[in-house]
Amino acid sequence: MPAPRNRPAAALVMATALAAVGLVPAASPAAAATIPVGSGSYSDSRPAGTSGPTTNTGTPVTPKVTPAAQGKPVPTNDWWSSLAFQRYGDNPYSTPMYGHPLTYQATAGGLDVGYPTSPQIVGDGRQYEYAHKRDLTIGLSGLNSPDTKADAWSDWTVTPYWSDGTRTLRTTIGHGSPFVYAKGTGGNAQITTAAAPTVFADQGNVLGITVAGHHYALFAPAGTDWTVAGSSITAGLGGKDYFSVAVLPSTDALATFRKYAFSFVTGSTVNWSYTGGTVRATYTLTTEAKEGTERGTLQALYRHQWLHTADALTGYTYVSPRGTMKVREAASFTTTQPASAVLPALPGAGGTDPARLRAYLDEVANSSDPFSGAVDTYWTGKALGKLAQLVPIADRIGATATRDKLLGLTKGRLQDWLTAGGANEFSYDPAWKTLIGYPASYGSDTELNDHHFHYGYYVYAAAVVAQYDPAWAADSAWGGMVRTLIRDTANPARTDAAFPFLRGFDVYAGHSWASGHQGFAAGNNQESSSESTNLSAALVLWGSATGDTTLRDLGTYLLTTEAESIAQYWFDADQQVFPGSFGHDTVGMVWGSGAAYSTWWTANPEEIHGINVLPVTGGGSLHLAARKDAVRRNIAEMERENGGPAVEWRDILWEFQSLADPAAAKAKWDAGNAAYTPEAGESKAHTYHWISALDALGAPDATVTGDLPTSAVFTKGTTRTYAAHNYGSTARTVTFSDGKTLTVPARSTATGTGTGGSGPDPVPPTGNTFQLRSGGALTTATGGTAASDTVPSADGANHDGTPYKPLVYEIRGVHGTLTPGAATAFRLQMDAGTVVGLGQQARISYDLTGDGTFDRTETYQYFATDPVSGWEEYAHTRGLRSATGTLGDLVNGTVRLEVWSAIGNGASQLQTGTNTSVVVIPYS
């Protein structure tokens, strides 16, 4: 594991790995000491005695880019940032870069390429790695470059550049790409393998080789030929300047890959949208046909992507540290997800003693030092977040004097930091095109680490102020500087000359990276994923409060995307990502090469589990409740590793548990609230309100979404509570995906049980709802008697995607008109009892005319049940695994549901006879 950065002994939390992204005025700053932005300002030079980006020996460093890229904002905090940020003075090339499925490292002779497929368990079993190991080097004969520079980049691809004065080489590489596209001059194409290769196909300009058990295809221009001499393989380029290399999922894939070998990728772009509670994102590669006319390509999707796409996928797969990657044969694909819930604060609810809550609030507001001595960007940010979270709570209980005092404290410290020239300020670095806060911390200056962690707190606090004082948030007042922080951390513009596009967020990986330089053997890393979603939620709240739907929708896309990545890659929610030999249910840190059950500063289990929870907010935390099974496993493991319940970070972990089991968390609070010290970003006021509110409302219910980003649903027993905050100046009606509606007054939060709609039944409201009946029937009848059917064991085999001893439920003679844009939905109550390692799967089929042939079949991702007795909900939101055929109108048709065990060695139960186990078809 790479050596961690030093942390102060007093650090209870951390702003881990590394991140930075910037925002400033639209053009580069003028040459002046202070740059005014509305009522605030930043400086164009660092305070005396401070440092900007440096090598590890303290030497100032500037971006390592070619003349073609000079002046362009460099996206630090990316998977390939070591190409541009030379953190280690003796390495002018790069550290290992994890593109997945391929790994890369630049060297003097070209690009080392590997495809790690076997995990290693290191660090006393606390870390798993698919470490980079060279299979071959892509270069030119004789190439000996003194360095490697970044020549061009786009949303998830990059082009490294080598030149030794005689030869030049460019290679384009990217996330999900099985190809490396090379352009070279001054020498022959040369592939040097780590060991003598085995040739499995020789087709002249196309060569298939096997190295270290991995299959590669080499493609030279038409009319040329590859020559193999030991571990050296060369080809003249026949007057051309291009060739490509691909890693193959199997030798029989060669013909498919040959089709796209000369469709060179030239760029990558993601476009997102938010509409009616749904986030859609389309990931597109641009290509150039070097030979022929083919412009398509192949790209491997990560698990968080293929779980949420209905686009066709091939049968080809790759191994990666993020689980199986699945290959699409096209230049683009689209993901569709229900938006993650966001509220400025949990709504008020019964169970909270107003007098007790007032006392807790006053304890913070009247503290002799509400900022706990914080002086740097990170700890000041945490203190701002702590105070800001209490403002809406005080407002809800009518404690207006306390509310206003908290607002005043928050405004005062924000304004202090958003003004240049004092003991603290933000300074713009024109070489790296980033805004650095001083005093800095955790390498946010010298390594450009953690900007999204630090500045997210400032934006979140500013969003709370904007909710109560819109004039303060105007661009002409303090809003201009807040937007400058946003541009540094999450710039939505690709054409901003002052800051890069989404510097810290990796749109293809689905999460942010924290290291500014990526200078580790394990690639880049991110520890506190929750501090990353804190920024995304802050964008939703700031955009909503200021009427900026562009930032609001950006925040919704970032939050929703990262929420699924966190579930899969930090919490292994489906238990399909972590290697079987890795003995943990969660990790504290994700690396390019894998993940680790650790933090930068401690091995204490409470912090390992808690660092991906804090700060607990109505904005950035509700998404965690989408996988209650993962929350329960997480808490159980923490207590096993800890030797008992939490002691140091008990408030963070109580709040986390309340997202799945509010009553259990409330019992722990009741037993332990008298004598504990709140975590540095927490307060007893917030923890008490959070736990009491969820105990009364029930846990967040991610199966239902509202058509307003600032809305959420909670379920306790059979009762749903709908909540939304309306930032607008007029009342509006929020419509939820189950058909319920809620009218919300202007500039207010409202809650209720909803009106209209279909009650607790799932989406879409326009479809027909069928309950399950024991014995194999689907019926529109209601008022059944609750019962259950036994789902047989998978008998220890993997039946993912293929029904095995399935339960079958069917209805015939169905007539219906297909609803445009609607989709199948279901909600099934499952229980595996105390059996571990089970996963149930559903398939829904449509015979449109009742002729016995199913015209449309939809197979959904299986649901990993937890080993805790009690019903769990398996819903269509798990994602479509595959689909065949096309829907049309039903004329005397048949609808069939099949449920079986995809994995496991035990039976489970499927509830029948109630309106909580239903199938909803997209017909009227």
pLDDT digits (tens, 9 = 90+) for 724-775: 999 999 999 999 999 999 999 999 999 999 887 544 333 333 348 899 988 8
Residues ≥6 apart with Cβ < 8 Å to 156: 79, 174, 175, 176, 268, 270, 506, 507, 508, 509
Residue 639 appears among annotated catalytic residues? no
pLDDT at position 1: 30
Cβ(22)–Cβ(520) under 8 Å?
A: no
The catalytic position among 44, 425, 531, 738 is: 531
Which of 442-446, 748-752, 818-822 is predicted least confidently? 818-822
Q: For residue 165, what pLDDT is reported? A: 97
Average pLDDT for residues 548-576, to the nearest whole number?
A: 97
CA distance 545 to 543: 6
Q: By mean pLDDT, which of 20-24, 230-234, 504-508 is the weakest?
A: 20-24
Query: What distance in Å separates the CA atoms of residue 138 and residue 122, rounded to the nearest whole number?
Result: 30
Supply the Cα-derived Rg of the chain in whole angstroms: 28
Catalytic pick among 151, 447, 450, 789: 450
831 is catalytic: no
Q: Where does the pLDDT of residue 10 fall: very low under 50, low under 70, confident under 90, or very high at 90 and above?
A: very low
Nearest Cα to Cα of residue 554 among 660, 459, 470:
459
Look at residue 25 in the predicted model and tell me its pLDDT. Answer: 36
The answer, yes or no, to whether residue 839 has pLDDT greater than 90, is yes
What is the pLDDT at residue 620? 96
Which pLDDT score is estimated for 887? 94
- Bridge partners, 338 (sequence order): 278
Where is average pLDDT lowest: 130-134, 395-399, 911-915? 911-915
Average pLDDT for residues 428-454, to the nearest whole number?
Answer: 98
Listed residue (800, 647, 643, 921) closest to 324, CA to CA: 800
> Residue 20 pLDDT > 50, yes or no?
no
Average model confidence (pLDDT) across the chain: 93
pLDDT of residue 110: 98
- Cα 856 to its chain centre, rounded Å, is 31
Selected residue with higher pLDDT from 915 and 654: 654
Find all residues with CB under 8 Å of 584, minimum gap 6, and list them: 126, 578, 597, 637
What pLDDT score does 780 carry? Answer: 82
- pLDDT tens readout for residues 177-198: 999 999 999 999 999 999 999 9
Beta strands per DSSP E along 832-912: 839-847, 856-860, 863-864, 872-875, 880-885, 890-903, 908-912
Instruction: Give the model confidence (pLDDT) of 480-538 as tens digits.
Output: 999 999 999 999 999 999 999 999 999 999 999 999 999 999 999 999 999 999 999 99
pLDDT at position 755, please?
Answer: 87
At residue 46 the predicted structure's pLDDT band, cuts being 50, 70 and 90, is very high
pLDDT at 757: 59
- Tell me whether strands 908-912 and 856-860 are parallel, antiparallel or unpaired: unpaired
* pTM of the predicted model over 0.95: no
Mean pLDDT value across residues 365-386: 97
CB 752 within 8 A of CB 721: yes
Residue 5 scores a pLDDT above 60: no
- Contact between 663 and 634 under an 8 Å Cβ cutoff? The reply is no
**What pLDDT sits at residue 15?**
28
What confidence category does residue 868 fall into, taking pLDDT thresholds of 50, 70 and 90? Answer: confident
Q: Can 527 be counted among the known catalytic residues? A: yes
> Which residues, other chains included, contact 446 with Cβ-Cβ below 8 Å and sequence gap of 6+?
51, 52, 53, 54, 58, 440
Q: Residue 691 pLDDT more than 50?
A: yes
The residue among 592 and 811 whose pLDDT is bigger is 592
- pLDDT at site 637: 97
Q: Which of 527, 553, 695, 761 is catalytic?
A: 527
DSSP 888: -
